[in-house]
Structure 1
Amino acid sequence: MDGGCFRNLGDNKLNGSLPKSFLNLTSLEQLGLYRNCFSGDLLPFQMNNLQILYLGSNSFNNQIPREFGALQNLTALSISFNLLKGSIPEELGNISNLENLFLAENELSGHIPQQLGNLTQLQELYLNTNYFVGELPPSFMKLVNLERFYAQGNSLSGKIPTFIANWTQLDVLDLLGNNFEGPWPKEISSLENLDYLALSNVVTRGRAYDFPDLSRMTSLQDLTLRKCSLRGPIPGYIWELKNLQNLDLSFNELSGQLPNSISTSLTSIFLRENKLNGLLPGWLTKRKNVKPHRYVDVSENLFKITTSEFNASSDDPDVNYFPGCSSNSPHTKDRCDDYCHNNVKYNELLINCGGKEVTSDNKHYSADQNPNGSSTFYRSETGGWGYSSMGLTKSLDNRPASLIIKDTCTLSNTAAVLVETARVAPISLKYYGFCFSDGTYTVQLYFAEIGLSKKQAYPITPKRVFDIDIQGENVRKNYNIEAEKENIDGDKMVEHITSIKSYLEIHLYWSGNGSANYGPLISAISVTKVPPPKHHPKLSPALKAVIAVSSLFFLALLLLLLRKLGYLGGKRSSKEELKATELFPGGVYTFCQIKDATQNFNVVNKLGEGGFGPVYKGLLPDGTTIAVKQLSGKSKQGIREFVNEIGTISALQHPNLVKLMGYCAEDNELLLIYEYMENNSLDHALFGP
C-alpha cells in the first residue's frame, strides 16, 4: 500500500487507537496527526522515508517506542502534549538528522539520556513540563547548533552547566522551575544571540550571589532571574538594553536605588520582594500620558513612599508599590494599620474571589470583581482586605488576558456558588486581611479548575501547578487543582490553622512547575476565628479552703480504709504479730521455712489430699521430718480464729493423736505442721480410714 508522500490529518477530532495500517505507508515522508483525540500506544513507526512526524496534542500514553530510533531520515519529531510515561529511549540518539525534538507537556521521567548529545544537528529541544531529574548530560556540549532549549518545569539539578556556552546559536534558554545550583557561570555570559533567558529557584545552600555579568547579551528581550538569591544593586546596563521588553527580578535580595531613566523598550518590570530603597523615580510616579505603557511591580521593598504617592498609586491599576505587611520596611506595620478605620477589629474574612457578593452556608462573602492584576495592589472598599497581583499573560490579540474567570457550569457541590468565579495570576497572587483581632484562625481556601477550556477539540489541557503559603509558611507545594480529590462535600479545599496578629497574608505563586502562563487560581476564601476554650468561673479563697480541707479528710479516710483492708500493710502487721506470739515452744514457722522444707510444695513430696487440703512431706534443716497440711483457701475462717484453734489442739496430749508440732499463718497461707509417722499411720490420722 502506497499512501503518497504527505498525510496531514491534524485538527480533525479523530479518536481511538492509531490504525496499524499506517505502518504500511512505506513511502510516507510526512505524517501529521496533531490536535486530535487519539489514545493508546504510539505505533512503532519504521517507515524509512519518514522525515516529519507530528503526533502532539492527543492522549497517547505508555512509552515512546524504541523503534523511533530507526527513523534515520527523520528531521522533526513532535509528541508534546500527550500522556507519555517512562524515560526517553536511548535509541532516539541514533536519529542523526533530527533537527527538532518536541517532548514537552508529558509525564516523562528519569534522567535525560547521554545519547541525545549525539543529535548534533538539533536546533530545537523542548523538554519542558515533565518530571526529569538529575543533571543535564555532559554530552550536550556537542549540541552546537541548538537555537532553542526549553527545560522549564522539571526537577533538574546540579550546577548550571558551563557547556551551555558552546551553544553559540542559542536565542532561547528556559530553565525556570528546576533545582539548579548557583552561581551563574561567567562563560555563559558570552551568548550574544540570546534574546530570552529565564532562570528561577536557584538552590543557594544559604549563600547569596552577585548579579551575573550579562553585559554582552545585548539582544535580550525577556530576562527573568526570579528567586535566584541575587544580592547587590541592579547593574546600570540592564536599564539601557535597547531590546529589553520584559524584566523580572522578583523575590531576590537586590538592593540600591532605581535609576532616574530607563530604556523606552521596557513594558513590564517586576521587582517584587527585594531590598531596593531610596525614592521612587519619576518614570514610576509620573506615568500619566507617558508612553510606552508599563506594568510595574516594585512592591515589598524598602522605598521611601510618601502618603500622596501611595494614594496616587491607587488610581493607576498597573503600578504596584505596596510595601507589604511582612517586609522589613519601617513603615510597613503603620501602613497596614492605617486600614483599620476607627480601630475596628475583625474576627473573620470571607471573599468570593472574582465574583459578586454571595451567601453560602449562612456566611456572607464579599465581592471581588476588580479586573486588574498584572501589577496591581487593590484594597477593598470596606478596608478589611486587599490583594496584590503580579504577572502578565497576553491574549490572542496581544492584550493582557482577563484575570477573572467565570463558569456557570460548575459541579453541584455544597459550595457551588463559591466556585463559579475565580481570580488568577500568572505568577504571584497575595491576599491580605487587615485589622484582625489577635488569635487562632481556621483558613479555608476553595478551588475549582474553571480556567482550562473543556471545549477544545483535543483532550490534553495545560497543567496548572502552584504553591500555597499562609503567614509565610508553605502549606502546599506543587498544588494541582485537577489532580486533587474532592472532600465529602464535593469541594476542593485547603484548610489550615494559623495564628494571626493584626494581619493575614495568603500567598499563591507559580514557582515554575506545570505549564507556563498558568499560575495560581482561587475561587473563595474563608477565615474564621477558632473559639477560645471555655473557662470555668474562679473560686473564692474561702471555697478553695473548704475544698482543700474536705479533700484531705477524704484522703485520710481512704487511707484508713485501705489499711483496714490490708492493702497498705495492716494485715501484714497483724500476721507478724501472730507469728511472734508463741502459743507453744518452737511452734511458729515462717512460710519460707516450710517452702524450703517441701521444695516449694513439690508434687513429688505430696502425700495425699483430704477434705481440708493437701498434705506434703518435708525436711527441716535440723533433720526433722514433718508433714505439712495446707488448709484449703475455701475456708472462711479468719487467721486469729485459726491460731486460737491451734492453741487448743496443741494443748491436747493423747497416744492416739498425731503430734502437732506447729503452724504457719503468713502470706495468706494457713499451714499445720505435724510429726511425720511411718507405716501408714499418718494416712489414717490425717486423711481418715
Structure 2
Amino acid sequence: MFANLTSLKEFRISDNNFTGQIPDFIFRNWTNLEQIYIEASGLSGPIPSINATLENLEYIIISDLNGANTTFSLLVIDATLPKLDRFMLRSCNLIGEIPASFGTFTSIKILDLSFNRLSGKIPDELSNLDHFDNMFLNGNNFNGSVPQWILDTREKVDLSYNNFTNTGVSDCRQNSVNLFSSIARVNNTGIVPCLTSQITCPSEPLQFVHINCGGREITVNDTIYEADYDGAGPSTFYRSTNWAFSSTGIFLSDDRPDDILVLDNRQVSVDGDEQQLYESARLAPSSLTYYAFCLANATYSVNLHFAEIQFTNDRNYSSLGRRIFDVYIQGKQELKDFNIEEEAGGAGIPKVKNFTVNVTDSTLEIRFQWAGKGTTSIPERSIYGPLISAISILDPTYKPPSESDGGIATAAVVGIVGGAVFAALLILGILWWKGCLKQKSTLEQDLKGIELQTTSFTLRQIKAATNDFHASNKIGEGGFGPVYKGTLADGTVIAVKQLSARSKQGNREFVTEIGMISALQHPHLVKLYGCCIEGNQLMLIYEYLENNSLARALFGTQESQLTLDWPTRMKICIGIARGLAYLHEESRLKIVHRDIKATNVLLDKNLNPKISDFGLAKLDEEENTHISTRIAGTYGYMAPEYALHGHLTEKADVYSFGIVALEIVSGRCNTKSRPKQEPFILLEWAHVLKENGSLLELVDTRIGSDCNTDEVMAMINIALLCTNPTSSARPLMSSVVSMLEGKAEVQEYLTDSSISSNRQMSAEIMKKLYRKLEEDDTNVSQTRSMLADGPWTNSSTSAADLYPVSLTSGYLQNRDSTN
C-alpha cells in the first residue's frame, strides 16, 4: 500500500520506535519525493540503493541506524539528483570509500557522513561541490593526506577523529576546517598530534582544571572556573591555555542559527555562588569533546555539572523536548542515554555526576555524544545534542598554598596588605577628583538591571582582530562612532561597532541594543556575536555580512550595485517578512523594530537578508521598558499614525515593510528630492500606476522580462496592503509571509473614498514635513530620521552604520531624473 504513494513529496518518521529495515520502495517508487527524514526512527540498515531519477529530491536526512552495514559506493550508483541540497547520513554504518562519481551532485550545500566507518582517501572530485556550506566527514577512518582544496576553503569542514597520515598543517584548525584528532594515534593514546606544537606545559604539572562551559570566568567557593564563551559555530575547535574543545555537527533547524553553541538562562534557582555554574552552558548538535592536558599523572575526581536550561518545566510545548546523550571519559562509556531533566527531576535543576579517573599520560578526554535519541522536532525542528554547564577536574591530594609556605610573618602580611589598600584608596581618590571614574560610574548605572545574554570579548581580542583599529579596517562611521572589520583568532570575520565618546546617543541606547539582540536568534536577524565593555570602551561585535546592505545593492553607486534577479528579490522580500513575523509574533519579547528600511537589511554571501538595527527597537511590553528607547524612525518609511501622532504598534513595521517591498520591485529609493518640484514619493507613484492599471511599469528595468508576472503583481499588491493608511487594515506579518509564499490568497486592497482621502491627506502632510526638512538642511538627499520628541536629526545609530551608503550617487540621480 505505501509503495503506491507515488505522489508523496515529504516523508518524516523521526523520533519513533519502528523495527525492521528501511523499505526499498522509498527511492524506487516515490519519484516525486522532495524531502525524507529518518532520524532516530528505530529502523535498521542497510539503506536501499538510490538508483532512480528523483528530479525533485532536495533533502536526504537519515541518522542512527542499527543493523547491517551499507556500502557507500553502491548507495548512489546511477542516481540522478539534480536538486539535492542536503545529503546527511550520520551514524548509518556506512563502509567503503566515497566514489569519485559523488562529485557530480554539485547542488549539495550540506554534506554529513559523520560517525560511520568510511575509509580510503577523500576523492578530489568532492571539490566539484562548489555550493557546499558545511561538510562533516568526522568520526570515520579516512587516511592519506588531507586534500589541499579542503585546507584552502573558507567553508565549514570537519575532519576530526580520522586516520589521516598528514594534514599539511601543524594546527588543530585551518581557516574553518576542524582538524582536531584527525591524525592516527598509536593505540589511540597520548596527546593529540596537532596540539604538540602548541602546548607549553608549566614546570610543575597541573592538579586541577575548572571550566565554566559556555560562560564567563567566575569564582565559586573560592575556586576559579575559567571562561569558555567561544561561539565560532559548527565543526569548531578552540584551545585555551591547558584545555581545548572540539564541537561537531549542525542543528538542522530552519529557525535556529547553527553558530549559537552557548546558552544563557538566569532562571536557575540555586543557593549561593553555585548558581553561577548553571546560568550558562555549552551545547553541540552531535559531539562535544573537552581535552585537558599538562596534568600530573594521578587519580582525579571529575565532576560534570549539568542543568537543562533550554527546555522548561511549565506545561507548554517547549516542556516536551527531550535531550538524551552518552558520556565517555578516557574513551570509556560512563553514561548511556543520559537525560539531564530526568536525572535532576526537572528543567533548571542542577545535577552533578562524579567520576574517578586515572591519568597516565598527562591528558584527560571527556566526550559528550548524541546517539540519535531524544526529540528532533520538539519544541522546534532541531537536533538536541549534548549540553554541559561546567567541568571540574581535581586531584584530591592537591592542597592550596598556605600562609606558612611563604615564610612571611602574619604581621608582615598585615602591613603589606594595609599599605596596598591605603595606596589603592589614595590613587582612586585622585582619579575620582580628576573625574576619571565618572564614565565608569555612568556605565555601571546604565547596565544596572539588564542581563547581558551574550559573549563578552576582551579589548585585547578586539584590538588584535582589527589590527588595533587600523584605518584600513574602518568600514563606516555611524551615530555611535566608527565601525571596523576584523578577524578573530579562529578566522571568524566580524564587524565591530565602537561607541564614540562624543556620541550623542550614549550608553543607554548601546545597552539597549545589547539587551535586544542578545535575546533574539533567527536566520533573518543579524547575529550579535558579543560585546566588549572594558573601561570606557563600549563595542558590539556582529557577524560580518559580505554583501553589505540592500540599499547599496539596489541603488548604490554603479560599482557597488549587485545583480538581483527576480527569484533573488523574492527571496529577500520573504526573508525580511519572516524576520519581522518572528519579532512581532514568535519572539517572547514581542518587539516592534520601528526603523525598517533598505539600509537596515543586510545581505550575506548567498544574498539572504538579515534585519539589523535594534538600537531603535521598542519592546511591546510594559514590563520590559527598561530596554526601550524614545520614539524614532526614518522619514519615508514611517507609518502616518506614528510619524504624525507617535502612535506605535507592530503595524508601523508592516507599513515600513511595504515601502521596502516596493523598493525591491522597483529598484528605486522611496523618496527623492527634485529641485523646484514636489518630492518624488514611490508609494504615490505606485498608487497612480494602480489607478491607471499599469502596475507592471513599477518593475525595475534591470530585472528584464525574465520574471514571474504573477509573483510580481502579488508582491506589489501585498506592499500596497501593508501601506494602507489605516493601521487596522494592514495584515499581520505572518499573513504577509503566507501570501508571499503563495499559501494564502492576496487580500483585496480596500479603496473606498475615506481611505483614499486619508491617503491623500497623509501624503500631503508628509510632503510638508519633507519640505521643512529641505529648508533646515541643504543635504536633502541623505536618508533622515525623525524623533517624535525632538528635532530632525541624522539617522540614529543603526546596523546601517555598519555598511553606510550614500543615496546621492550620480547613477541614482540620473535614473530618477527620468521620472
Normalised by the size of structure 2, how large is the TM-score? 0.43
- 1:302 matched to 2:163? The reply is yes
Q: Show the counterpart of 1:389.
A: 247
Whether the aligned pair in 2 keeps the contact of 1:463 and 1:518 (CA below 8 Å) is yes
**Among candidates 223, 229, 243, match of residue 87 of structure 2:** 223
- 1:166 matched to 2:37? The reply is no
Q: Please report how far the alpha carbon of residue 202 of structure 1 lies from its aligned counterpart in structure 2 after TM superposition.
A: 2.5
Q: Which amino acid aligns with 2:85?
A: Q
Whether the aligned pair in 2 keeps the contact of 1:195 and 1:222 (CA below 8 Å) is yes
For residues 6 and 339 of structure 2, the distance between their equivalents in structure 1, rounded to whole angstroms, comes to: 37
For residues 400 and 211 of structure 1, the distance between their equivalents in structure 2, rounded to whole angstroms, comes to: 30
- 1:181 matched to 2:44? The reply is yes
Q: Show the counterpart of 2:211.
A: 351
Encode CA deviations 1:278-297: one digit per residue, 9 max, x unaligned. 2222222223xxxxx51110
3-state DSSP of counterpart to 1:484:
helix
- 1:148 matched to 2:44? The reply is no
Whether the aligned pair in 1 keeps the contact of 2:55 and 2:80 (CA below 8 Å) is yes
Mapping of residues 609-688 of structure 1, within 5 Å: none
Whether the aligned pair in 1 keeps the contact of 2:312 and 2:319 (CA below 8 Å) is no
**Among candidates 164, 188, 202, match of residue 65 of structure 2:** 202
Q: Show the counterpart of 1:250.
A: 114
Against the structure 1 CA distance between its residues 403 and 240, is the aligned structure 2 distance closer, same or farther, given a 3 Å change threshold?
same
Against the structure 1 CA distance between its residues 323 and 274, is the aligned structure 2 distance closer, same or farther, given a 3 Å change threshold?
same
Residue-pair matches, total: 382
Against the structure 1 CA distance between its residues 439 and 331, is the aligned structure 2 distance closer, same or farther, given a 3 Å change threshold?
closer
3-state DSSP of counterpart to 1:157:
coil
Encode CA deviations 1:413-449: one digit per residue, 9 max, x unaligned. 4521101111111221111112333333222211122
Q: Please report how far the alpha carbon of residue 183 of structure 1 lies from its aligned counterpart in structure 2 after TM superposition.
A: 2.1
Q: Show the counterpart of 1:529.
A: 395
Whether the aligned pair in 2 keeps the contact of 1:189 and 1:213 (CA below 8 Å) is no
Q: Which amino acid aligns with 1:239?
A: G
Q: Please report how far the alpha carbon of residue 456 of structure 1 lies from its aligned counterpart in structure 2 after TM superposition.
A: 11
Against the structure 1 CA distance between its residues 330 and 411, is the aligned structure 2 distance closer, same or farther, given a 3 Å change threshold?
closer
Q: Which amino acid aligns with 2:46?
A: P
Q: Which amino acid aligns with 1:440?
A: T
Whether the aligned pair in 1 keeps the contact of 2:98 and 2:123 (CA below 8 Å) is no
Encode CA deviations 1:137-169: one digit per residue, 9 max, x unaligned. xx5334333221111222322222223233232
Against the structure 1 CA distance between its residues 142 and 500, is the aligned structure 2 distance closer, same or farther, given a 3 Å change threshold?
farther
Q: Which amino acid aligns with 2:231?
A: P
Q: Please report how far the alpha carbon of residue 248 of structure 1 lies from its aligned counterpart in structure 2 after TM superposition.
A: 0.6
More helix by share: 2
- 1:275 matched to 2:141? The reply is yes
Whether the aligned pair in 2 keeps the contact of 1:355 and 1:367 (CA below 8 Å) is yes
Q: Which amino acid aligns with 1:296?
A: V
Of all paired residues, the percent bearing the same amino acid is 34
3-state DSSP of counterpart to 1:174:
strand
Encode CA deviations 1:351-384: one digit per residue, 9 max, x unaligned. 100111112233221111112141111110x2x2
Q: Which amino acid aligns with 2:148?
A: G
Against the structure 1 CA distance between its residues 145 and 458, is the aligned structure 2 distance closer, same or farther, given a 3 Å change threshold?
same
- 1:365 matched to 2:225? The reply is yes
Whether the aligned pair in 2 keeps the contact of 1:387 and 1:432 (CA below 8 Å) is yes
3-state DSSP of counterpart to 1:477:
strand
**Among candidates 230, 253, 259, match of residue 123 of structure 2:** 259
Query: Larger Cα Rg: Structure 1 or Structure 2?
Result: 1
Q: Show the counterpart of 2:675.
A: none
Q: Please report how far the alpha carbon of residue 195 of structure 1 lies from its aligned counterpart in structure 2 after TM superposition.
A: 1.9
Whether the aligned pair in 1 keeps the contact of 2:106 and 2:128 (CA below 8 Å) is no
Mapping of residues 323-338 of structure 1, within 5 Å: 323=181, 333-338=192-197
Q: Which amino acid aligns with 1:213?
A: L
Whether the aligned pair in 2 keeps the contact of 1:413 and 1:491 (CA below 8 Å) is no
Q: Show the counterpart of 1:157.
A: 19
Q: Which amino acid aligns with 1:376?
A: T
Mapping of residues 123-138 of structure 1, within 5 Å: none
Root mean square deviation of aligned Cα: 3.2
- 1:511 matched to 2:371? The reply is yes
3-state DSSP of counterpart to 1:160:
coil
Q: Which amino acid aligns with 1:477?
A: K
For residues 242 and 361 of structure 1, the distance between their equivalents in structure 2, rounded to whole angstroms, comes to: 55
For residues 332 and 500 of structure 1, the distance between their equivalents in structure 2, rounded to whole angstroms, comes to: 12
**Among candidates 101, 105, 108, match of residue 237 of structure 1:** 101
Q: Which amino acid aligns with 2:8?
A: L
For residues 343 and 179 of structure 1, the distance between their equivalents in structure 2, rounded to whole angstroms, comes to: 52
Whether the aligned pair in 2 keeps the contact of 1:322 and 1:377 (CA below 8 Å) is yes
Q: Which amino acid aligns with 1:174?
A: Y
For residues 227 and 144 of structure 2, the distance between their equivalents in structure 1, rounded to whole angstroms, comes to: 36
Q: Show the counterpart of 2:304.
A: 445
Mapping of residues 23-42 of structure 1, within 5 Å: none
For residues 259 and 146 of structure 1, the distance between their equivalents in structure 2, rounded to whole angstroms, comes to: 34
For residues 191 and 411 of structure 1, the distance between their equivalents in structure 2, rounded to whole angstroms, comes to: 53
Q: Please report how far the alpha carbon of residue 401 of structure 1 lies from its aligned counterpart in structure 2 after TM superposition.
A: 4.1
**Among candidates 279, 292, 298, match of residue 420 of structure 1:** 279
Q: Show the counterpart of 2:539.
A: none
For residues 449 and 521 of structure 1, the distance between their equivalents in structure 2, rounded to whole angstroms, comes to: 8
Q: Please report how far the alpha carbon of residue 325 of structure 1 lies from its aligned counterpart in structure 2 after TM superposition.
A: 8.9
Normalised by the size of structure 1, how large is the TM-score? 0.50
Q: Show the counterpart of 1:322.
A: 180
Encode CA deviations 1:35-59: one digit per residue, 9 max, x unaligned. xxxxxxxxxxxxxxxxxxxxxxxxx
Against the structure 1 CA distance between its residues 511 and 394, is the aligned structure 2 distance closer, same or farther, given a 3 Å change threshold?
closer
**Among candidates 258, 263, 270, match of residue 405 of structure 1:** 263
More strand by share: 1
Against the structure 1 CA distance between its residues 473 and 355, is the aligned structure 2 distance closer, same or farther, given a 3 Å change threshold?
same
For residues 436 and 211 of structure 1, the distance between their equivalents in structure 2, rounded to whole angstroms, comes to: 44
Against the structure 1 CA distance between its residues 227 and 393, is the aligned structure 2 distance closer, same or farther, given a 3 Å change threshold?
closer
Q: Please report how far the alpha carbon of residue 519 of structure 1 lies from its aligned counterpart in structure 2 after TM superposition.
A: 1.8
Against the structure 1 CA distance between its residues 204 and 348, is the aligned structure 2 distance closer, same or farther, given a 3 Å change threshold?
farther
- 1:374 matched to 2:234? The reply is yes
Q: Which amino acid aligns with 2:106?
A: K
Encode CA deviations 1:620-664: one digit per residue, 9 max, x unaligned. xxxxxxxxxxxxxxxxxxxxxxxxxxxxxxxxxxxxxxxxxxxxx
Structure 2 residue ranges without an equivalent (≥5): 377-381, 399-819
Whether the aligned pair in 1 keeps the contact of 2:146 and 2:166 (CA below 8 Å) is yes
Whether the aligned pair in 2 keeps the contact of 1:326 and 1:332 (CA below 8 Å) is no
Q: Please report how far the alpha carbon of residue 523 of structure 1 lies from its aligned counterpart in structure 2 after TM superposition.
A: 0.7
Whether the aligned pair in 2 keeps the contact of 1:171 and 1:193 (CA below 8 Å) is yes
Against the structure 1 CA distance between its residues 360 and 326, is the aligned structure 2 distance closer, same or farther, given a 3 Å change threshold?
farther
Encode CA deviations 1:81-105: one digit per residue, 9 max, x unaligned. xxxxxxxxxxxxxxxxxxxxxxxxx
Q: Please report how far the alpha carbon of residue 190 of structure 1 lies from its aligned counterpart in structure 2 after TM superposition.
A: 5.6
Q: Show the counterpart of 1:471.
A: 330
Whether the aligned pair in 2 keeps the contact of 1:469 and 1:508 (CA below 8 Å) is yes
